């Protein structure tokens, strides 16, 4: 069984970890023999080698998944459920190990991974393990004709492509309903964050998941990811990532008429009315702004505050942001770790510079903390940043930054803020803060977003549909929506 330790700190322990593909329940080197380095964000140095997989590796994984599909698709729901619960139990028994691996690989605080990311991954398997043994089908009588009923059938081999911000959580959000429905899978985790996916493979072995049901091919989007999307016999793609990549997937898969579920970018509004509970709004808004270094597609990066409480809210948010600790992800009192890569750090800081050029004022943050020296001096850290003074037409207020950077803007009327919130190419989520229930219903109903939270944020109910509007995605997953996506629904009519 593979294990992971975050305590490696001596020069002798600095040899790079080698990750291999997982095909047919075995660890397989890439066919081209090429690996590339992946970096530890908090230290800015390589710590693992990732396969630079290509179409030949995807083909091997596809053949393994295709060979496993006939038997797995006929395995009873009860047996599939039993194996998935074993996966959940094994993950839970290794929670600390997975949390440390997730933190080192992605840059997030260990405590966040321990209390949110890994528990949610565990819950994904348990939820769908239960869901499939309680599933029902539709039936209806046609008087004088017969009985019609529906039957779900697994689609086949699914291509599952997951992002780097919530690596294990979002990978298992795809794997769990996929295999619960009787499909097999070829997975490609992000090349920036492959470690917990690699560790998950050992869990599959220990849980007795049959050979070939889940296969992991590591590598880049242009290499392994493109090969999965282009594969003519992979009929279904679930992708979480950027809008530009999502558009390419739609175009490239169109000739094969693939089923697609795309959860893409967000530039989410956080609307605070003057009648809200400001203390609650502030305490949650500092989380929705900066949790996971702002690297969550659901973060409320556009904050709109009703003018009578604008200054009070701004002062409170700045004070709370300044109290957040940026630093060693292993420390329990760290609130923000490191951004995922140097390239991403440069992108985010580039937007901060752009905000000044666009006339904005940096109320706090905007710099790498000077206190981070020694082992963390090369890490990709950034202070939580609040920017005021921009107009809604500025790029910084319209483009997805995906870091610990938020803008704040005053509004005067309900109609105005609805227009401001909806004036975006994105439509993933929104938070609304008000104690007026009628206003809450009006505004929530008018917002163009797949999820609207009222007086809360990031409350995820796996029974409910999840997805985005406009350029934030295509399709819905969660509960029956996931089971429907990972199935073909057939209507059967039996004559009297």
Any idea what DSSP says for residue 291? G
Question: Which tens digit of pLDDT belongs to each residue from 348-361?
Answer: 999 999 999 999 99
φ, ψ of residue 127 in degrees (nearest 5) = -60, -50
Say yes or no to pLDDT of 1 above 50.
no
* 11-264+472-495 and 269-462 share one fold: no
- Interatomic CA distance for residues 88 and 209, integer angstroms: 12
pLDDT at residue 135, as a whole number: 86
Q: Which residues contact 263 (CB under 8 A, 6 or more apart)?
A: 239, 240, 241, 297, 428, 466, 467, 468, 472, 473, 477
Q: Which two tokens stand for residue 316?
A: 């409170």
Q: If you average pLDDT over residues 135-161, what whole number do you get?
A: 94
- Interatomic CA distance for residues 1 and 24, integer angstroms: 16
- Interatomic CA distance for residues 204 and 353, integer angstroms: 46
pLDDT at residue 398, as a whole number: 98
Say yes or no to pLDDT of 196 above 50.
yes
pLDDT at residue 15, as a whole number: 86
Q: Both ends of the chain: CA-CA distance in Å?
A: 56
Exposed, middle or buried, 36 (CB in 10 Å: 0-12/13-18/19+)?
middle
pLDDT at residue 5, as a whole number: 55
141: enclosing H helix or E strand: strand 139-142
The residue with tokens 């209390």 is 115
Any idea what DSSP says for residue 24? T
pLDDT at residue 8, as a whole number: 47
- Interatomic CA distance for residues 179 and 82, integer angstroms: 12
- Interatomic CA distance for residues 361 and 355, integer angstroms: 8
Q: How many CB atoms lie within 10 A of CB 89?
A: 16
Question: Which tens digit of pLDDT belongs to each residue from 88-100?
Answer: 999 999 999 999 9
Q: Which residues contact 106 (CB under 8 A, 6 or more apart)?
A: 41, 113, 164, 165, 167, 192, 193, 337, 340
Q: Please choose, from the candidates 379, 403, 375, 289, the residue with its C-alpha nearest in 3D space to the C-alpha of residue 107.
A: 379
Where do the domains of the chain lie? 11-264+472-495, 269-462
Q: Please choose, from the candidates 86, 87, 118, 83, the residue with its C-alpha nearest in 3D space to the C-alpha of residue 100.
A: 118
pLDDT-based confidence at residue 13 (cuts at 50, 70, 90): very low
| Catalytically active residues, by annotation | 263
pLDDT at residue 4, as a whole number: 57
Say which CATH topology domain 11-264+472-495 has: Aldehyde Dehydrogenase; Chain A, domain 1 (3.40.605)
Question: Which tens digit of pLDDT belongs to each residue from 375-415?
Answer: 999 999 999 999 999 999 999 999 999 999 999 999 999 99
Say yes or no to pLDDT of 426 above 50.
yes
Q: What whole-number percentage of the chain has pLDDT above 90?
A: 96
Three-state secondary structure string covering 454-496 = ECCCCCCCCCCCECCEECCEECCECHHHHHHHCEEEEEEEEEC
> The whole model's pTM is what?
0.96
For the structural domain made of 269-462, what CATH number should be given? 3.40.309.10
Q: If you average pLDDT over residues 471-483, what whole number do you get?
A: 95
């Amino acid at each position: 069984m593979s294990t992971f330790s975050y305590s490696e700190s001596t020069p002798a322990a600095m040899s790079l970890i080698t990750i291999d593909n997982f095909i047919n329940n075995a660890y397989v080197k890439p066919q081209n023999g090429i690996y590339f380095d992946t970096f530890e964000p908090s230290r800015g140095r390589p710590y693992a080698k990732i396969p630079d997989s290509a179409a030949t590796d995807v083909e091997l994984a596809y053949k393994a998944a295709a060979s496993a599909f006939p038997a797995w698709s006929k395995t009873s729901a009860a047996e599939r459920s039993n194996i998935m619960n074993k996966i959940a139990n094994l993950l839970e028994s290794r929670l600390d190990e997975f949390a440390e691996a997730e933190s080192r690989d992605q840059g997030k605080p260990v405590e966040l991974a321990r209390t949110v990311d890994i528990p949610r991954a565990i819950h994904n398997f348990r939820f769908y393990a239960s869901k499939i043994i309680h599933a029902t089908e539709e039936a209806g009588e046609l008087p004088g004709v017969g009985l019609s009923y529906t039957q779900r059938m697994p689609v086949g081999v699914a291509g599952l492509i997951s992002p780097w911000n919530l690596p294990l959580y979002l990978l298992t959000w795809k794997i769990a309903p996929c295999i619960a429905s009787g499909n097999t899978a070829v997975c490609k985790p992000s090349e920036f964050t492959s470690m917990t996916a690699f560790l998950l493979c050992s869990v599959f072995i220990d849980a007795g998941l049959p050979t070939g049901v889940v296969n992991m091919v590591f590598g880049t989007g242009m290499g392994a990811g493109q090969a999965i999307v282009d594969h003519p016999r992979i009929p279904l793609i679930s992708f979480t990532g950027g809008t530009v990549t999502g558009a390419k997937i739609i175009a490239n898969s169109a000739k094969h008429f693939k089923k697609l579920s795309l959860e893409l970018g967000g530039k989410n509004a956080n609307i605070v009315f003057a009648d809200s509970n400001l203390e609650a709004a502030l305490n949650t808004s500092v989380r929705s702004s900066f949790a996971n270094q702002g690297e969550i597609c659901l973060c409320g990066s556009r904050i709109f505050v009703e003018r009578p409480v604008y200054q009070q809210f701004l002062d409170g948010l700045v004070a709370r942001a300044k109290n957040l600790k940026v630093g060693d992800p292993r420390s329990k009192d760290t609130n923000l770790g490191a951004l995922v890569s140097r390239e991403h750090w440069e992108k985010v800081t580039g937007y901060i510079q752009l905000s000044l050029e666009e006339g904005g004022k940096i109320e706090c943050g905007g710099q790498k903390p000077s206190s981070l020296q020694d082992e963390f001096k090369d890490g990709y850290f950034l202070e939580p940043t609040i920017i005021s003074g921009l107009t809604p037409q500025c790029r910084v207020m319209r483009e997805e930054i995906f870091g610990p950077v938020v803008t704040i803007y005053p509004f005067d009327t309900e109609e105005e803020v609805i227009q401001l919130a909806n004036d975006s190419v994105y439509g993933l989520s929104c938070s609304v803060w008000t104690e007026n229930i009628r206003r809450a219903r009006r505004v929530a109903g008018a917002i163009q977003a797949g999820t609207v939270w009222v007086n809360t944020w990031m409350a995820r109910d796996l029974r409910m549909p999840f997805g985005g509007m406009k350029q934030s995605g295509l399709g819905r997953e969660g509960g029956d929506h996931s089971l429907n996506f990972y199935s073909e629904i057939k209507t059967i009519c039996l004559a009297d």
